[in-house]
Each structure stands twice: as structure tokens, then as C-alpha cells.
Structure 1
Amino acid sequence: MAEGLRERKKRQTRQYISDVATGLFLERGFEAVTIAEIAEAADVSVNTVYNYFPAKEDLFFDREEEMVDRLPRWIAERAVGESAAVAVLRELRTAIEGGDYDPLNPGFTRFMAVIQESHALTLRLMAMHERTCHAIGATLREETGADPEDPEPMLVASQLAWVNSVIFNSVQRLIAAGGDSADITRKVLKRLELVTSLLGERTLTYAVKNTP
């Protein structure tokens, strides 16, 4: 269904408010910026900000749902004959090699610094990792038709979420240590190879897709 004019304007307003807030957060830090200041800078009312973003953290993590849904989507869209783990590893490798992996973006370093300076954002990021893990587990359970009491989907999900977290954190440490982007990319890919080697055969062959 095509997006209507009202929906498009709402989406554009939401994005504009988020962009303004992000600029302020990156410049001054999360805790130093108030909702009132964001509203004034975006030329909207405080109520309008809250209508789009119920919590201040929502303004910073405006792409939270996309981030949480990324791995479950990779799994759901995997090719026939491909397991869940292989799909996640392939997509990670493709994103890193193609320069599409967000943490490798030069501007992401400041983004992470703002998170580390804020207890509220750090807690929110931890909660996002937890949500991602549960979303992966739900997808695996649906894809395999596993019994609700079967712990295996969630155990596999925990390992895939761990892989994602390790690579994410590795990029941040490598960037902080310095070096050019090509060298960092090579090191991250080697770290991905190492992480892959630590996964057991049962995890690597879990939830192989049998039908289109």
C-alpha cells in the first residue's frame, strides 16, 4: 500500500525531530540536552516531541526496532539449504566487507562515546541486546516449529546474539586503538572467522531452511 500524504508528513516530522536531537546529543552529550531544548531547536512543541518519542532514549535510539529486527530478518530471509547461523555469519561478513556495517562508520565513534557517558543509554543498549536475543529465539522457534518448552531455539539465539555483540564490541575497540579503516576491516573479518570457529556443529547446522 502506497504511503499517504499524512503518513509521509508524520514520518518526515519524526525523522526531523530525531535528526535535530541527535545533533544536539553528539555535540553536548545525552544528559546535557533537555526535551525542551530539542523542541525549541526543531521548532515544535514539547508535546509533539513526546507524541513521537515517549522517552528521551527513544530520540537517541530512533532506529532501535530496525536494529533489533536485523538478525531475525536475516534468518527469516535465508536461502534454501542455509542454516540460521550461516545466514547471520554471511550477512555480517557481507556488511563488513561492503562497508555497510554501521559501527565501521567514522561517525559511529562519537555515537558510542555518548552512550558510554550516559548510564541511561548504556542500560538501554543492554536492553536492546536482550531484545535482539529474544527476537532471534522467537524467529527460530517459529521457523523450526519447536515446542514452546524446547530450550534449543533460545540457546542457539543466545549464541548468535553473542556473535553479533562480539563483532560490534571488537569494532569499537579497534577504532579506539587507531588505524586505517582497511586495516580495521581486515582485523574484524579475522575476528569473525575466529568467532565462527568457536561455534559448535549443532549451532552451525541448526534450522536449515528446507523450502522457499
Structure 2
Amino acid sequence: MNESLRERKKRRTRQHIRDVAMGLFVERGFDQVTIAEVADAADVSVNTVYNYFDAKEDLVLPPDQASPHRLADIVRERAPGQSAARAVLARLREETRRHDRAVGLGDGFARVLAMMRAAPTLTARLSDLGVQMTAELAAVLAEETGAAPGDPLPRLVASQIGWFHTLVYAEIGERVTAGDPPAAIAADVLTLLDAVEDLLGDHVLAYATREETACSE
């Protein structure tokens, strides 16, 4: 369905407000900027800001981008013959190769990361986000595998996937902060993911493999 003019205007307004807010946050610090100042700089009302963003933290970590559903969605969308862990590994490799902003390899991310690390409410939200991602993934794995109540395997496998997902973000964050070029970071992260895959072994890598669909004749 084509986007209507009204929807397009709303999307542009939302992006404009967020772009202005991020510029202020990076320049002055997250805690030093008020919603009223964001509204004034974006030439909108405070109510308009809150119409698009429920909380100040959403301007930095919008729920549609910093989503607790990320890992579960990747696993739900995996191809036939692909396991849960391999689906997440494949997505991380794909995002790393194209220097995707989703993994922090976009331009200017070093300053954004420094701003986020200096704001306790943002670091707390990121920590909670990781916990939520793993918990939701465990629920999906339990449902898809038909695991019995109390079976620890879905939680254990989800924890392993959550671990290497967090590891990639931490590695990229440290390297970006150190000023390393994106191409070098990406190459090393791909090597890191190869090492992770070797470490996990077949038990985790084969868990929750989606059945192949039969070809129609």
C-alpha cells in the first residue's frame, strides 16, 4: 500500500524532531537538554513532541528501532533449514558487511555512543532491552520446539544467542569509541563471529532448525 500524504508528513515530522533532538543531545548531553528545548529547536510544540515520542529516551532509542522483539523476529523470519542461532549469526554478518547503523557502524556513531553512555537512563534502557530480547526469544524457542514446561533448553539457547548478539555490539562500541575505521571494525567482527560459531558447537547451532518445506510437483 502506498504511503498517503498525511502519513508521509507525519513520518517526516517525526524524523525531523528526532534529528534535531539527537543533534542537541550529542552537542550538550542527554540530561542537559529538555523536551521544551527540543520542541523549540524543531519549531514544534511540546505536545507535538509527545505525540510522536512517549518519553525523552524514545528520541534516542525509538521502540520501532531499538526493539525488544529484534531477536525473536529474526528467528521467526528464518528460512527453512536454518536454525535459530544460525539465523541470528547470518543477520549480524549481513549488517556488519554493509556497515549498518543497526549494529553501530553508521557515520557519527562514536559521538552518539559517548552521549548514551553518559546518560544513566539510556544505559539502563539498553540493559533492560537485552534482557527483554533474550526472554522473548526463549519464549519463541519454547513454543516452536514444543518444549515441556520447565525445560531449560530454550532459555539456555536464547541466552547463548543473546550473549553473542551483545558481544558484537560491545566490540563495535569499543572499536568505534577508539576511532577505528568502519572497514577494519567490520572485518574483525566477521572474524569474531566465525570464532563464536566454532565455539557454540552443533548442539546450539542445530537447535530449533526450521523444517524444510516440501516442494510441490
Alignment TM-score, normalising by the size of structure 1: 0.89
Q: Which residue of 2 aligns with 1:41?
A: 41
Q: Which residue of 1 aligns with 2:58?
A: 58
Q: Is the 8 A contact 1:64 1:128 kept in 2?
A: no
The residue type equivalent to 2:50 in the other structure is Y
C-alpha distance 106-5 of structure 1, shift in aligned 2 (>3 A)? closer
Q: Which residue of 2 aligns with 1:138?
A: 139
Distance 1:148 1:51 in 2: 41
**Equivalent pairs: percent with the same residue?**
48
Q: Which residue of 2 aligns with 1:14?
A: 14
Point out the more displaced range, 71-80 or 164-173: 71-80
5+ long unaligned stretches in structure 2: none
Distance 2:209 2:53 in 1: 39
5+ long unaligned stretches in structure 1: none
Q: Which residue of 2 aligns with 1:78?
A: 78
C-alpha distance 120-64 of structure 1, shift in aligned 2 (>3 A)? farther
Deviations 1:85-129 (A, max 9, x none): 011111211221232253122311111100111111111111111
Q: Which residue of 1 aligns with 2:112?
A: 111
The residue type equivalent to 1:174 in the other structure is R
Per-residue deviation at 1:66?
5.0
Counterparts of 1:1-212 in structure 2 under 5 Å? 1-63=1-63, 65=65, 67-100=67-100, 102-212=103-213
CA RMSD of aligned residues (A): 2.1
Distance 1:176 1:51 in 2: 33
Per-residue deviation at 1:148?
4.5
Deviations 1:66-98 (A, max 9, x none): 543332222112111111101111121122123
Aligned length: 212
C-alpha distance 85-20 of structure 1, shift in aligned 2 (>3 A)? same
Per-residue deviation at 1:65?
4.5
C-alpha distance 17-153 of structure 1, shift in aligned 2 (>3 A)? same
